[in-house]
Structure 1
């Protein structure tokens, strides 16, 4: 058998929380034929069972449960300490955009993963209970390259009826290659073995602009095969799951959409799926909206944190969208703007989502939305009921290099206009504490802290360091 030292993992995921127990899954990517030792936790052994097969690798998963609080598990002779206390004081980290569109696997590791190393070091000093990944965990834009049926997709499509079996194999192996490379990087691997992850996908986990591209491309045989391969990879590598075997946190056991909810003492994490049912005319479909509208009101001191892979509060991008559609040379950027909640195509849907969050605010408590996607950091506010506020916190990206500062300044200027999608609910883009502009062009991640029942947020910036705390 192959040496288990060559195995990538453990990568730890939060399956669900039930009472005082935290249910976890550990993922391993092993050479095909390798023996993967079991996980030892709470005095019992939990075997690592095959989850997915590839040409030269097998993905294994072990599921186990630990009590909330300080805990540990062992694998292959090593002990991994966890901070699973979700009852009282807690620290949560939020990251997004772990890569770049072109040549990401060729980047020098210490440069690419500098913010992961900073996050790893921070956990060593003050442990995190959870690590939330808000989209674009991988940049899969290049997986279609290298195969004649997908090389020129979405611009050119192969003849209908082409043999797609070899393309399916090609796409699956390319997704494996990308996930394995990212999960093997030392800083990521260290923290991912010690902090359970919760992941929500976005377009680059499939391809740039999935759902906002022309229907002829996404509904083609190649487009549907690409989506199926990306979805399988998401379940395998971002949830340690498979069809018919989803963790209890997922709202639809059949996987028609991949939205999920975690409920812990005083905290509800809600992550609707904004890609599975997406089209050029909608962000979520019937399944996603049913999940959102079936969520019960907040109880007691419960705080809602909503993960929206695309920022929910932003500047009037609809004005920029109108300009781009009027200028032929700029129409190639239309897909990027159609991806946003503020797009003309999604404005009614945007109001619907904001209305649901206003309802949550009827308890008089603030609601927090965390987002990524734009490769910049920013924040925004919208009034709810009484003195309650909707806080939008954007942290993007942890590995994607920022756009030019001129783009950040332009968005800041556009943000001065504000927006009022709901009557009497003015959206204002605010400066992050300690920053001059409304948008910050630095790589970053976000830290949410609950101490003595009070919540606050801090950004860690690559150049300017830690932001002063923002009370939530």
Structure 2
């Protein structure tokens, strides 16, 4: 029997895979959907006679036994009224067959791999899954639409992270994913072409509390017994059910679920997609059976829900000795796990993925970083900073080499690329907290730890996994942690070398820390280099969390007080930009009302977020908008970049983009240092996040942080803080 299970075969649906599946067939002419649709963006190509093609996928989770589902895709029209009379001769309605990625006795995952031609105008596309009906009869399978930029445009980007709640959050105060209402409002006014998930798209920490399957393990007091605890087939199956049901519940929760079907996603993962702190505990503890087991299960559903990829054929369990010996391609097959189960085996990796050369130390699969082009002039890289992570490394050196080799290849082949948006799971330009790390590791903590073990003293200070101070796993995660110092410097230097070599600006995205901030690397003022010509100028947009609760005001103020001017090397400094000129929702003297606030926000409920001295860190839920600073027309007769236009100023008059004066060595670098940063905050032209400012020339970016005004507002209204990033033009 085992031999037949392990032999690839063709499923009745037409898919090639391993495992016989549940052997049930639906007799309904309806497609019974449990969760979805989920829309992903993958990449651009020039496969159709040189015409750029958009590639993506749609995923639905259905009841088992479904047969041959189909998706119909059609061009719904132009978004810009000036292009509505254009001829739609290049885009007739097309049908795409579903591909079954995985099926067991409870559910099946179907992917529709779709593509479409970019138009000469910003376009809206409609897709409909034929016969779709929801198991929950309250839902209806209406057609979905999404936006695609014109062939001459770069994409309008939504960036978010930390989309869930930590264990113990007061749910009466922090009511659900309300900021997604604001995302949908912004999307309706000016559509997003892609949304980038920076990690923690879901919080799976509940697996260890309440009725979660890992609660008995978590409550074992003896660290040795906890390390030796077995991860047998029963526990594996229970954890599998938990992760699956948690994904279905969260990805089916509105308004997040609505955004999932209308804005194409590109995701990397972080610790909460597995469990809090995964990868940053001690190596001895991370190699225990339970961590190996849940790493495999979480990875399975991460691939299915977030990447629309077939999972590994099996995951680790101590009941199947062959799964404990990881080969170069991951975990071997366990016939027990394939009972009544089908897994696709011929799923080809999309060219957008950069696959690690060997499995990670704890998630025993190869890392999956991403390269893709976001429209005409922006390239994107998302580094998988969790699969290879340990307490002492973020990624393998060979992974960094693979990524920069790919970047050199892509930018050498396409001279239209002017900007790299780099996604990291955690911030890299961020205040140092080494003094706090040293305190938590010092002998001073020893007596408190002893009292905690014997009498439960300071229970909230220590985690239940390895007995260390609970904040240590978060601090160890950061690039600014002392053990990552060398790796951090090497990464920044590699980015500087790439930026200079290709005259491409680098903007870094990072989340994880549950507050908003803007970090920047830049050349030391003594070098006299204006930002527009400075390859070392790299902003780090820190946007977190879109759903999870922010840290206390005191923590944000502490971080701001540590916002020193740090010296990365003899040529590079770094610090946070003081962008928060006022708290969100607080009226200003000039306008008498909150900039960006709309109906439903009650300013009387707004409490002070920060101290008067803190203009660098904002402890409120938030997300970010990134788009080109140049107001590119939404329709064009060719793919060539448009000519530069004059940039509007705050009084409505036009002013040309300009090269800033070199920074003054005596000036405060926490303040604006170039034209795009002047007036950063709520009064900046980019604050609203709806119109291109033109402030930073033809290839610059506008950045907007949309910050929640009040957690009591279930509609999630936000206030905007803006600045602009100049394109890079290396001086001759």
User: TM-score scaled to structure 1, two decimals?
Assistant: 0.92
Deviation at 1:108, TM superposition (A): 7.2
Q: Which structure 2 residues correspond to residues 444-459 of structure 1 after superposition, within 5 A?
A: 444-450=622-628, 451-452=631-632, 453-459=699-705
Q: Distance in 1 between matches of 2:700 and 2:68?
A: 42
Residues 191 and 110 of structure 1: is their aligned pair in 2 closer, same or farther, counting only changes over 3 Å?
farther
CA displacement at 1:287 relative to structure 2: 4.3
Q: Secondary structure at the match of 1:72?
A: strand
Partner of 1:46: 96
Larger Rg: 2
Matched, 1:75 2:129: yes
Unpaired runs of 5+ residues, structure 2, are 1-25, 47-51, 74-91, 131-140, 313-346, 358-364, 449-460, 462-467, 524-528, 583-613, 633-698, 711-717, 726-732
Q: Within 1, Cα distance between the matches of 2:572 and 2:231?
A: 53
1:6-21 alignment, distance < 5 Å: 6-19=33-46, 20-21=52-53
1:90 maps onto 2:201 in alignment: no
In the TM superposition, what whole-angstrom CA distance separates every residue of 1:218-258 from its partner, at most 9, and x where no partner exists? 11121111111111111111100025533221111886111
**Secondary structure of the equivalent of 2:116?**
strand
Give the paired residue count: 470
Q: Is 2:208 the partner of 1:112?
A: no
Contact 1:433–1:470 (CA under 8 A) maintained in structure 2: no
CA–CA distance in structure 2, aligned partners of residues 240 and 461 of structure 1: 31
Number of the residue aligned with 1:207: 275
2:490 is the alignment partner of 1:380: no
Deviation at 1:67, TM superposition (A): 1.7
Greater helix share, 1 or 2?
1
2:213 is matched with which residue: 140, 143, 146? 146
1:27 CA drift (Å): 0.9
Distance of 1:420 and 1:36 partners within structure 2: 59
After alignment, is 330-339 or 419-428 more displaced? 330-339
Instruction: State the SS of the aligned residue for 1:292.
Output: helix
2:404 aligned with 1:293: yes
Query: Secondary structure at 1:82's aligned position in 2?
Result: strand
Q: Secondary structure at the match of 2:440?
A: helix
Encode CA deviations 1:275-331: one digit per residue, 9 max, x unaligned. 111111111014422323313344444200000110011011223212222241575
Equivalent of 2:196, from 115, 132, 137?
Answer: 132
Shift of 1:147: 4.7
> Shift of the alpha carbon at 1:149?
6.9
Deviations 1:116-167 (A, max 9, x none): 1110121111110000000001111222432577444895655859461112
Aligned CA RMSD, in angstroms, stands at: 2.6
> Aligned pair in 2 of structure 1 residues 273, 467: CA closer, same or farther (>3 Å)?
same
**Which residue, out of 20, 23, 27, partners 2:55?**
23
Alignment-derived partner of residue 399 in structure 1: 547
Question: Aligned pair 1:345/2:591, yes or no?
Answer: no
Given the alignment of the two structures, is residue 123 of structure 1 paired with residue 187 of structure 2, yes or no?
yes
Residue 443 (structure 1) aligns with: 621
SS at match of 1:112: coil
Tell me whether 1:360 sits opposite 2:498 in the alignment. Answer: yes
More strand by share: 1
Give me the whole-angstrom Cα distance separating, in 2, the residues matched to 1:410 and 1:11: 39
Aligned to 1:100: 165
Q: What does 1:216-365 correspond to in 2, within 5 Å?
A: 216-242=284-310, 243=312, 245-252=348-355, 256-264=366-374, 265-297=376-408, 298=411, 299-326=415-442, 327-328=444-445, 329=448, 332=469, 333-362=471-500, 363-365=502-504
Q: Which residue of 2 aligns with 1:467?
A: 720
Query: Counterpart of 2:360?
Result: none
Counterpart in the other structure of 2:605: none
Q: Quick one: distance in 1 between partners of 2:225 and 2:42?
A: 39
